[in-house]
Structure 1
């Protein structure tokens, strides 16, 4: 058995204990107090396994980010993980059912974050020499579009030869992600005129009616052949049933496969105009992450990963997926980027979110071996 794989198999239970330790510290993206508490648990793991902690990058709104350095070298490998989750405190219980381990953010992506810690720990304990320094960046706001960490990620990426992202692999196949759709987020605020729905209905201008018309138009822009989807995911407005509603807000998420299409849709949304006199519109938001386009550098990186997987008796595949991640950011800067190097499982952003216990040694060993070869 490969010595890295043997090491991970031997330490499987300890890796699982660390995953549980982090997952049980819930960390919703918009809760700084809880996110910082989780960050401190991650710091405890760094201290325990390496004898020193990560640099803490202070934030006012979101949790503090962590920057951990390992090894030495003129060139740098950037490992990206995030520890914020889409779940509010108490939404999902931690539990084990056979080979499946459930919990908030365990698949996306605390399992992958802990596996990355153990990948570096294995390099240290097995005395495997590195050709490059590793910068391991753990961020707290990926699930809301990386508003505070984006500049940090860009800065680290510009100083790195490669970027490895520990988002989960494709469920079922375990494929790594070499391409992702670009994403944009928008909110359209609609202002109308309130009036009594019985006595003065004709004097009112319904913001909700305008919202409904906009929703139909915006969702009609979805084009599956192009790979473009527009999803209106939130609608708020009105109040009392006997009042013509004078306000409404719709929120939407846009996914595209090319930068040109992202710009085209952006121009349409920013150019929205009311089709009812007296209505006022205000558009907030914009393009968040550019598409992650597979290039020659990414292709070479995947080939290296595929060969590394063979040493572990794994058959590795690659995929282009619809979801976005911080890999979109690093890839857009021309840095060869490989995503999906986290924990195997299923249920991303779903109530059945889980990882597979039996796959922990394989996925941790794969990341370790890739880092050692770069």
Structure 2
């Protein structure tokens, strides 16, 4: 598993570089081919490469979901080389989430019968899954369960609740004028966007856990010109759908403050919240299986970040997230994976998939599979 993680980490795959993502997809495909003795489908959408394995003749009943793109630009390995020292594995994208992709493939390889299993590894999750979302939705529909191989929360906790995410761009159009000679003839888009930033920030509701954060800001062209254009990106995160729609309506209802200014809103709701109801039964099953395997008890966490699990949970499909690597530092210089946790969590994942394939979710037994199952490996 460590060798396979190294292969993927060394194959850098920033989301927006389609050639790099295609190379990474081939690296994932080769590992899957060796472990599963099966060739994946290569699904290319708008230049971005995703991979899918399906087993059995019928529609999928269990989906293992992950992504092989990362936030790290090409050349990051020079500053953050792959290494394994004192039980800690490091390298760009190892925790989020190339280790999880390897875990999914090894777990599937350990199954005595893979009929009904689908594995989908996408190439654009880190930028909001704009190209892979239809694939994710189609693959998840009708499944009994979706297991998301995103990295765990602190201490290895599974992610049973995630905030929904919306992304907006507030674009302001004013009118340019000379800042010294006749500023009164201009409409200052920078001042207007400042008003809008305050209005957007006021939409947050700390009591409900709602954050609405203005982020990237742009305005003007030269130091002696009234800005004719300005814009600000907005990141909104909420725990429930009603709150997500409240924020959406409010952002779309923003109106100019300065006479002559115009506002255009781009973007919108990206991922719905992953509510605890989508993960409760699967977490209980995982906890029971982990206890039988000697790995428990498991812990769970609610997190502000979103994943493709939000998409499947939004369809009403039982979804359990955070089943990937234990470690930390996602997107940061100290990104790392705890090596000792790779094998037990992969064994647990195999037991989960085998149990749901055999029994479904609600009727699944609460002990690990028998001698033919991965729980005894």
1:222 matched to 2:204: yes
C-alpha distance in 2, partners of 1:320/1:82?
21
1:89 is the counterpart of 2:89? no
The SS at the match of 1:236 is strand
Residue 86 of structure 2 corresponds to residue 98 of structure 1: yes
Query: Could you say which residue in structure 2 is the equivalent of 1:4?
Result: none
Residue 32, structure 1, aligned to residue 21, structure 2:
no
CA-CA distance at 1:71 after TM superposition: 5.2
CA distance, structure 2, for counterparts of residue 157 and residue 51 of structure 1: 23
1:7 is matched with which residue? Answer: none
Residue 119 of structure 1 pairs with residue 107 of structure 2: yes
Q: Deviations over 1:67-106 (max 9, x none)?
A: 1123566661011001111121123523324322222211
Q: Following TM superposition, where does structure 1 have runs of at least 4 consecutive aligned residues deviating by more than 6 angstroms?
A: none
Whole-angstrom distance in 1 between the partners of 2:257 and 2:31: 57
Matched, 1:257 2:239: yes
Match of 2:168 in 1: 186
SS of 1:243's partner is: coil
Distance 2:311 2:280 in 1: 17
In the alignment, what sits opposite 1:140?
123
Distance 1:80 1:372 in 2: 16
Tell me which residue corresponds to 2:54: 69
Unmatched segments (≥5 aa) in structure 1: 1-14
1:356 lines up with 2:344 in the alignment: no
Residue of structure 2 equivalent to 1:9: none
Render the CA deviation track for 1:5-24: whole Å, top value 9, x for unaligned.
Answer: xxxxxxxxxx0010010111
What is the rounded CA distance, in whole Å, between the counterparts of 1:223 and 1:147 in structure 2? 28
Unpaired runs of at least 5, structure 2: 357-377
CA contact (8 A) 1:72 1:134 kept: no
The match for 2:263 is: 281
Match for residue 140 of structure 2 among 134, 141, 157: 157
Query: Is contact 1:187-1:252 (8 Å) kept?
Result: yes
Match of 1:53 in 2: 39
Residues 74 and 84 of structure 1, relative CA distance in 2, 3 Å threshold:
closer
Q: Distance in 1 between matches of 2:88 and 2:186?
A: 55
The answer (yes or no) to whether the contact 1:108–1:167 under 8 Å persists in 2 is yes
Choose the corresponding residue for 2:5, options 19, 22, 30: 19
Q: TM-score, normalised to structure 2's length?
A: 0.90
Q: How has the CA–CA distance of structure 1 residues 313 and 72 changed in structure 2, closer, same or farther, with 3 Å as cutoff?
A: farther
Among candidates 262, 266, 286, match of residue 305 of structure 1: 286
Number of aligned positions between the proteins:
352
Q: State the distance in 2 between where 1:22 and 1:106 align.
A: 8
State the distance in 1 between where 2:202 and 2:92 align. Answer: 34
Which of these residues, 246, 266, 288, is aligned with residue 248 of structure 2?
266
1:260-299 deviations in Å (ceiling 9; x for gaps):
111110011001111001111110000111111122x632
Deviation string, structure 1 residues 325-355 (Cα, Å, up to 9, x no partner): 1111111111111000101110122222111
Q: Is the 8 A contact 2:36 2:108 kept in 1?
A: no
Flag the 1:75–1:145 CA change in 2: closer, same or farther, 3 A.
Answer: closer
The alignment's TM-score, normalised by the length of structure 1, stands at 0.90
